[in-house]
Amino acid sequence: MKINDTQVTLENLEATPLAHDSIILNKERFVQILSEISISGNLEFLKNKIKKLKNILIYPKNDEEGILNIDANGDTISLKRDVLISELEQISEAQTLERS
C-alpha cells in the first residue's frame, strides 16, 4: 500500500461530520501508522499493528498510538467506525502480505 492508496482508502471511509457512529482520528498519525505497516514487509508485524488499531477504535482509552489524541489545530478525519473496524478485520484475516 502506498500513501496515495491510503488517501484513496481514507476518502472511501470518510463519514460526514458528527455522523452516527463516526470516529475522529488524527489523520497524520493514522496515515503514518498505515505507512509503517505497509513498508514493514512482515505479516506478523502487520497483524499485530492492525489488532492494536482495532483495539483503539473499540476501546478509545487504550490509545497509546496517538490516533485519537486530537489537537485542536491538527489535521483530523472523520471515519465510519464500524466500516473501518470491518476493513481492519478483513486485513488481519488475510493469510498473505499481498492479500492484506
Condensed to tens digits (0 to 9), the pLDDT of residues 4-48 reads 555 555 555 554 444 468 888 998 889 999 899 888 888 899 999
* Closest listed residue to residue 81, CA positions, set 55, 42, 47: 55
Alpha-carbon distance of 27 to 54, in angstroms, equals 16
**Tens digit of each residue's pLDDT (9 = 90 or more) over 52-75:** 999 999 998 889 888 986 665 678
Instruction: Say if 99 falls within a structural domain.
Output: no
Cell of 54: 482495532
Residue 88 pLDDT > 80: yes
Q: Is residue 80 part of a domain?
A: yes
The phi-psi region of residue 28 (left if phi > 0; otherwise alpha if psi is between -120 and 50; otherwise beta) is alpha
**What was the pLDDT predicted at 41?**
85
In a domain, 53, yes or no: yes
How many domains, in total, are found in the chain?
1
Establish if 100 belongs to a structural domain. Answer: no
> And the C-alpha cell for 37?
505497516
Facing residues of 26 across strands? 76
The model carries a pTM of 0.70
d(CA 71, CA 26): 8
Domain assignment of residue 22, yes or no: yes
Q: Which of 26, 29, 30 is nearest to 9 (CA)?
A: 30
Tell me the residue range of the domain where 55 lies.
3-93
